Amino acid sequence: MSINVTNIVKQGYRRTIERNGLVLMGVIFAISLVNGLLGISVSQWMMSQQFTPGSVEANPTLLVPPVVASVISLVLGIGLLVVSIAAIRVFVSDETERLPREYFTRNIGWAAINVIVGAIVFGIIVALGFVAFIIPGIFLLVALAFWTVYVAVEDQNFITAFRSSWRLTHGYRFSLFTLGVAVLLLTALVNAVFGLGDLASGSLTGDIVALVFAQAASAITTVFSTAVLATAYTELKTRDDNDRGKTISEDSTVGRPAA
What number of other Cβ atoms are within 10 A of residue 164's Cβ? Answer: 20
> Per the domain annotation, does 143 fall within a domain?
yes
CA atoms within 13 A on the CB side of 140: 18
> Per the domain annotation, does 247 fall within a domain?
no
Query: How many domains are contained in the chain?
Result: 1
Comparing C-alpha atoms, which of 168, 150, 166, 135 is closest to residue 239? Answer: 168
Tens-level pLDDT at each residue, the chain (259 residues): 788 999 999 999 999 999 999 999 999 999 999 998 888 777 766 666 665 454 444 555 556 677 777 888 899 999 999 999 999 999 999 999 999 999 999 999 999 999 999 999 999 999 988 887 778 888 999 999 999 999 999 999 999 999 999 999 998 999 999 999 999 999 999 999 998 777 766 677 777 888 899 999 999 999 999 999 999 999 999 988 887 766 555 555 555 555 4
**Coil, strand or helix: which one is 193?**
helix
> Per the domain annotation, does 248 fall within a domain?
no
- Helix pair 147-154, 204-255: axis angle to 10 deg: 80
> Per the domain annotation, does 16 fall within a domain?
yes
> Per the domain annotation, does 257 fall within a domain?
no
> Per the domain annotation, does 214 fall within a domain?
yes
Residue 215 domain boundaries:
5-242
For residue 144, which phi and psi values (nearest 5 degrees)? -105, 15
The answer to whether residues 2 and 174 touch, using CB atoms and an 8 Å cutoff, is yes
> Per the domain annotation, does 252 fall within a domain?
no
Comparing C-alpha atoms, which of 72, 86, 82, 88 is closest to residue 33? Answer: 72
The answer to whether residues 164 and 151 touch, using CB atoms and an 8 Å cutoff, is no
> Per the domain annotation, does 133 fall within a domain?
yes
